[in-house]
Structures are given as structure tokens and as C-alpha cells.
A and B are shown apart, each in its own frame.
Chain A
Amino acid sequence: MIEVQNPILTVDHLTMRFGGLTAVDGVSFQAGAGDITAVIGPNGAGKTTMFNCLTGFYKATEGRLALQRNGTTHYLERMEGHLIAARAGVARTFQNIRLFANMSVLENLLVAQHNKLMKASGYSIAGLLGLPSFRKAEQEGIELARYWLDKVRLTDRADWEAGNLPYGDQRRLEIARAMCTDPCLLCLDEPAAGLNPRETAELNDLILSIRSDHQVGVLLIEHDMSVVMKISDHVIVLDYGQKIADGAPEEVRNDPAVIRAYLGEEEDDELPPEVAADLARDAEEHGGRAP
């Protein structure tokens, strides 16, 4: 395991089993506080399962998930699901976008500030009475929302129903919504899925700015290597639930284990001899190369 200076998240021997299936198998790694850490791997490698353990949707079978925030250590595997976001400050997005589709864009961002605003509304009592302290808090909430709307270029569409937004906007809104919870670690589950190249480039800028302007660590699941290689500081590769590589993007790119995981084993040996011979003759006749 690569030791990271100033880690925000330390995952130690995380294992998740569903009945007989081990989806995540003893994975350990660290994510740095100001880093973009990418988690890659073929489909079914256990990336999303790991995210679900981190964010409290699954209870990890074994392992420790330690998160550092303002000098306190939170052990995520022991926390209730909603507290992981509320106390430990881990926010996430979903592979299949989960917005509040019938609510407006602005409302989506205000719901994300629920805990803060709920307190300000005196658990609804100050709110019911319409006290100025609550009005002020709500105005601040709207200002924060407006900041993020500007950032993801959705200010004009703030009053639209979230479900009516085009796909790319929905992706960005989901990130803005996660950021409105004021997190210290942002987990993005395939944020570039379904985006066109221009939108992907914008997404890269957005993630980079979240890291640098807001000192938020980013954990990123992504298949799009143009995103992973361009912006991540640190790449972790999973295959069949196990970690097979961990290091800087350049190192990982050239790691033979990774190449094997993505491209499969060399399969020449497994061909029956007749077929191999046929193929070789075929290649010779056509002047091509043997496969």
C-alpha cells in the first residue's frame, strides 16, 4: 500500500460478502486530503460496492474505514448511514443519477443543506413562526446554492424541475448538490458516464476546482481514462474485488497486472493446436500477422 501524506481516508482490509459472493476482498488503500483518488477496474470489480460501504448503504463485512476530519477520526463502518454524510462529511453521487426529479433545481440544493437549515429553523418552530434568524439562514442557504449553480452553470435553470434538465446538467447538478452538504470527501460514481467530450472536459475542470478551491478530497470511480489519467493524483485498480495496483497514474498505466485485467490473459496457449495451426497458415497466406 502506498503511504499517502496527510490521508483523509484510510481503508483497511475492507471486505464485503453477499452470501457466498465476495464483492470486495480485503482492499486497503489511503486517499490523500487534497488529492483526487481514482478507483478503476473492469465492470464487476467491486468499485460501487466499495462506495456503498464507504457511504453507509452497505455494512462492511470486515475491515476498517477511518476518515480524518478536523483532527477527529470517524470510523465509517460503525456509523449510521445518514451520519456519514452529516458528521463525517462524506458526500456522494450515484451511477444512475438520483435527483429529486419533481423538485426544482434550487430546492434540490436546499434539501442538501437540510441539517444546517433544520437547526436554523429551530426544528421547524422558528420556521413556523417566521423568525428573522431563520429567514437569514435560509437566505444564506440560497446564496450557497447560487454559488454552486454559477459554478455548474445552472443559474438560469434554477427554477426548472430537476427531472426536466438534460442529462449532462443532471450530472453536474448532482455534484453541486453533494457539494452543498459541505463535505470533506466527495465520492463520485462514474460522473463522466454518458457525457460528450466537451462536457467531459468541463467536468474535469469542475472536479479540479472542487479539489483546489475547496480543499475537498475526491474519490472517483470512472471508466473514462481521459478523465482518470488527466486529473487524478493517485489511482487504485480493483479486479475481482481485490486491489491489483495502487500508485500514480503513469505507474498504473504501465502495470502489467492492470493491462492483464483490462485486456485479458494472452490466450494463444489455450487454442487447440489444430486451430492455432490453421490461423498461422491463414495469416501466412494473406500476408497478415498471426493474431
Chain B
Amino acid sequence: MDAQLRPSVDEALPRVGREAALAGLITLALTATMVGLHTVPGEQSRLTLEFRFPEVIMAVVLVFFGRLGLSFTREGFGTYGLAIGIVIALGSLFFPGLASIVQILGVGAGAIVAINALWKIARPVRPDRPLPKSSAQMMDDVAAWVQRKSVPIGGAGIVFAIALPWLFPDRSSVDLATLVMTYIMLGWGLNIIVGLAGLLDLGYVAFYAVGAYSYGLLAQYFDFSFWLCLPLAGILAAFAGLILGFPVLRLRGDYFAIVTLGFGEIIRVVLQNWSTFTGGPDGIASIPRPSFFGIAEFTSAPEADGLPSFHTLFGLEFTPLHRLIFLYYLILVLALIVNAVSLRVRKLPLGRSWEALREDDVACQSLGINRRNIKLAAFTISAMFGGFAGSFFATRQGFISPESFTFIESAIVLAIVVLGGMGSQTGVVLAAILIIGLPELFRELEEYRMLIFGAAMVIIMVWRPRGLLAHREPTVRLHGRHGPKAPPKGGQAQEVAAE
């Protein structure tokens, strides 16, 4: 903004003040009941109310000043914004008698306001210079860099993943790594259908459940081993995908999403109520653990079921960690297979047609592409990977019940894909670590996990609708990487102006 064009503080003040007052008022309306009144059980199991008015006042004050700071910064008064941000942060830190959660929120809000102001001060808009890049554009550059360096980054990641059980040889670390890896695998599986084909599947957990129950039931009724069930679970889940996919694939975007959600819930309700077959809400317990490829068992006794135990076979000291590490490597390999297949398919005609479908399905039909078949392929392959992950889940937990397959689980996997960056394999890893790993490390945050999670989904969508690391590199190039440079985003406008 030009110095002359910038309004004076007197001009901006009424506008800024009005915005802040409105924001404060709305906050009052939102918090007066939900925050200000606490429904607690009273006498005779009747509810009664507790009042929490200080929290309401704090919320209103925070929002009022936060909005004030942000609005000042937007109007070009970065210093005011900075000052207000600092006041908010210090005020919430040193004001007597505040709950720690309020302090955290206040400092966080103040920091956001202050950083926003600093950002604006550091990169002023001047007529003689090109517009400074927005934060989303800078993130674009980061995403593009990650995508271009995906081979070294991915390689380093795999090396780290392999070394992990040696770096942290304790039960909780290996368990956590296994959990994160399971979600990475689910994320990669779902990425095929959401990221590549652009179909929002809200019922992915259904295939996870089919895989898990396939193994659980086959082991329970027929005594099948894990190594036989793993491919069977994948096939059954793929089959489920085919059957469910057939009717729903003609549906448009959001209808498709809701119907997949419906299918996910139907499968869960059936699992819950068909007690004679699935064990109902109690689920299936004591699901057998996998053997070491059918040649050894992970038992403390030197021999079990006619197989030697793992530690005697390799002449090691017995430790229960062996099985956990083995499970970790198993899920690592499974996940890497999913990754390899996705990366490869993306460069095949099938993968390209998925992406084309995401871009414009009408044009796809006009080119003679059978939309139904390629959607079905995406759905089935994605379901198969979900099935593999499900049977792994069953064998790792040793116990499954419908509780593990609620919509929340689908939403978590979807969030991993979406936050990481649709279509970005590295993004899935990053998001899985952030979403699954961090809350496990900060146990006290557990309570707030889903709250933060929902908020993060909204914020990331608003900031970068295609996800943090979303960036697309062409699957094939005519001129190689160093050929004529493509224009940056928004290049078209310059081109037109030049003509």
C-alpha cells in the first residue's frame, strides 16, 4: 500500500473497533451458555448448573483484543498489532488467578497476533517491488521442493524407519512407531482414492474392518494362520470394495461421500448386532499372533506347536520385544508396498486416468474413458490395502471389536490424507506423525486431541485447500527436468498481459 493511500489511524479506528466489538459480541453469544454454564449432576440425579463466568469474560476479552490486533495489522498498522499481541500474551501470563488452559490459549492467541504483525512489518507492500509472497505461496515452494527431493527425503525416511527399533529399543517406542506406521499405510491406501481419483471416501474404515474381521473370523472358525489370512483379507476387502463400489460410483462428489459413510456405518452396525457370528459388541478375543513366516514362533518356551521359538532358532536371548519389532517391520514392509504400488500406478495409464477423473470427469468420458471401471479400480485397490492393514491390526491387537471401526477412525485417516496434502506420499507420513505420534507423546493433550484435530482440518482447508505438502509434479516430461521452465502459479495472467 502506498504511504499516501494508507488511511490514518483516526480513519481506521472506527472500522477496526467495530469489527473487534462484533467479534467480542459473537463470542459472548457463543460462550455464555456452553462455557458459562456447566451442567453437573445434582441431588436425586437431577442436573444442576455451575457458573463459570470468568472464563466467558476471558474469552470475550481475548477475542476482542485478538481481533483488534489482527484488524490493525490488516489495515497497515503493524506496530499497533504487535503491541496488542504482546499485551495479550503478557496479560494472560501474569494476570492473577487464571487457569493454565486459559493462560496457554491467551499466550497462543497473543503470539499469533504478534507474529502476524511482525510478518506484515517485515515485508511491507511497496509499489516499486513485486508483491511479497503470501504464506500459502511460500508453502507451495516448500511443497514443490519436498516433491522434487522426494527420492533423497524418502530414502532417508526409510533408512530411519529401518533403524528405529535399534535407536529406541523399548516397548513403548516400538508400539508407537507401529501405530504411526499403520496409519501411514491406511493414509497411503486412502490417498489412492481421495488424492488421486478425487473421490471422497468417508467409509474407508469399512474395509479396515473387513480385513480385521476376515482374519479374526477365519482364525477363529477355521484356524487359518496369519500368513494365509493376510492375502485372503486383502482379497475379501477388495471384493467388498467391488460390491459396495458398483452401485455408488455413479454418484457425484458429496453424495458419494455420504453413501460411503452410510456403508461404513452399516458394516459397523451389522458387526455389532450379528452376535452369533461376529461376537457382537464383545468382539473377537485371543486372535493368534503371527509366526515368523511359519518357521518359528515368538514364544518364551523353546518350542511350541511343533515349531522352534524365534530366539532359539537365532540363538538369541528371549525378549518379548522380538515379536513387537517383527510386527513393526511387517507393517513397515506392507506400507512400503502400498507406497511403491501407488507411486508406480500413478505413472501408468490407470493412474493418469484417475487424476484426469479428479480434474474433469466429463472430459474423461469424451475421451472414451470408462469412468465406472477406473473408479471401480481405484475403489477396489484402495479397499484391498485397507484390508491388509485391517488384518495386521487384528493380529497386532489380538482383539477386535466394532468399537475400533467407528466413523472417527475414517475421519482420522481422511484427515491424515487431507492435511498432508492430497496425492502427496510424503505429506501422509508427515501428517500421520503429527496426528498420531504427537498426541501419544504428549499424553496430557489426549483430551484435546480430537478438538485440535477438527480445528486443524478447518484451518488447513482455509489456508491450503489441497493440504500442506500438496504439489503435483508431472508423471512424464517431454523436455526433462531442465527443459523450458514452466511459469509459476498465476503465470497465465502475466502471459496474457504480455500478448
Q: Using CB atoms and an 8 Å cutoff, list the residues of chain A in contact with chain B.
A: 55-57, 81-87, 91-92, 94, 98-104, 106-108, 110-115, 117-118, 120-121, 123-124, 127-128, 138, 142, 145-146, 149, 155-161, 163-167, 177-178, 181
List residues of chain B with CB within 8 A of the CB of A157.
484, 486
B128 at the interface (CB under 8 A from A): no
Q: Which residue from B355, B366, B369 sits with its C-beta under 8 Å from A103?
A: B355
The answer to whether A85 and B366 touch (CB under 8 A), given A110-B476, A159-B479, A166-B499, is: yes
Mask: chain B, 457-499; 1 = CB below 8 Å from A; 0 = not = 0000000000000001011111100011011010110011001
> Cα distance A250–B338 when bound, in Å?
63
> Cα distance A107–B479 when bound, in Å?
13
Nearest CB in chain B: distance from A141 CB, A: 9
List residues of chain A with CB within 8 A of the CB of B362.
57, 94, 98
Q: Is the CB of B486 within 8 A of A85?
A: no
Q: Is the CB of B348 within 8 A of A160?
A: no
List residues of chain B with CB within 8 A of the CB of A100.
355-356, 359-360, 363
Sorting the interface of chain B by its residue count into under 10, 10 to 19, 20 to 34 or 35 or more gives 35 or more
Across the interface, name the chain A residue whose C-beta is closest to B372: A82
Please list 9 pairs of residues, one from A and one from B, whose beta carbons are closer than 8 Å in the complex, sorted by A's number. Answer: A56-B365, A85-B368, A99-B359, A107-B475, A111-B356, A113-B349, A142-B478, A159-B479, A181-B368
Q: Is the CB of A114 within 8 A of B349?
A: yes
> Cα distance A94–B362 when bound, in Å?
10
Which B residues, 285 to 329, have Cβ-Cβ distances below 8 Å to chain A?
none
Q: Is the CB of A110 within 8 A of B349?
A: yes
Q: Is the CB of B496 within 8 A of A166?
A: yes
B367 at the interface (CB under 8 A from A): yes
List residues of chain B with CB within 8 A of the CB of A121.
348-350
> Cα distance A113–B362 when bound, in Å?
16
Q: Is the CB of B366 within 8 A of A55?
A: yes
Chief secondary structure at chain A's binding surface: helix
Across the interface, name the chain B residue whose C-beta is closest to A105: B478
> Cα distance A33–B305 when bound, in Å?
76
Q: Which of B368, B369, B377, B476 has the most CB of A within 10 A?
A: B368
Q: Which residue from B368, B370, B371, B474 sits with its C-beta under 8 Å from A159?
A: B474
List residues of chain A with CB within 8 A of the CB of B344.
127-128
Q: Is the CB of B491 within 8 A of A115?
A: no
List residues of chain B with CB within 8 A of the CB of A101.
359-360
B352 at the interface (CB under 8 A from A): yes
List residues of chain B with CB within 8 A of the CB of A181.
367-368
Nearest CB in chain A: distance from B140 CB, A: 13
Across the interface, name the chain A residue whose C-beta is closest to B347: A127
Q: Is the CB of A82 within 8 A of B371?
A: yes
> Cα distance A114–B374 when bound, in Å?
11
Nearest CB in chain B: distance from A41 CB, A: 22
> Cα distance A158–B485 when bound, in Å?
10
Q: Is the CB of B353 within 8 A of A111?
A: yes
Across the interface, name the chain B residue whose C-beta is closest to A159: B477
> Cα distance A130–B198 when bound, in Å?
26
Known A-B contacts: A142-B476, A157-B484. Give 6 more (CB < 8 A).
A84-B368, A86-B370, A98-B360, A113-B349, A118-B349, A124-B377
Q: Is the CB of A104 within 8 A of B474?
A: yes
List residues of chain A with CB within 8 A of the CB of B350.
118, 121, 123-124, 127
> Cα distance A166–B491 when bound, in Å?
9
Q: Which of A86, A121, A124 has the most CB of B within 10 A?
A: A124
Nearest CB in chain A: distance from B467 CB, A: 13
Q: Is the CB of A146 within 8 A of B474?
A: no
Q: Which of B348, B362, B487 has the most CB of A within 10 A?
A: B348
> Cα distance A178–B365 when bound, in Å?
12
- Closest 7 interchain pairs by CB? A85-B368, A86-B368, A158-B478, A100-B359, A104-B474, A117-B349, A127-B348
List residues of chain A with CB within 8 A of the CB of B353.
111, 114, 118
> Cα distance A155–B478 when bound, in Å?
8
The answer to whether A106 and B476 touch (CB under 8 A), given A114-B369, A121-B348, is: yes
List residues of chain B with CB within 8 A of the CB of A138.
476
Q: Is the CB of B349 within 8 A of A127?
A: yes
> Cα distance A166–B350 when bound, in Å?
28
Q: Is the CB of B368 within 8 A of A83?
A: yes
List residues of chain B with CB within 8 A of the CB of A84.
368
Mask: chain B, 127-167; 1 = CB below 8 Å from A; 0 = not = 00000000000000000000000000000000000000000
B26 at the interface (CB under 8 A from A): no
B341 at the interface (CB under 8 A from A): yes
List residues of chain B with CB within 8 A of the CB of A155.
478
B345 at the interface (CB under 8 A from A): yes
Q: Is the CB of B496 within 8 A of A106?
A: no
Q: Is the CB of B363 within 8 A of A159?
A: no
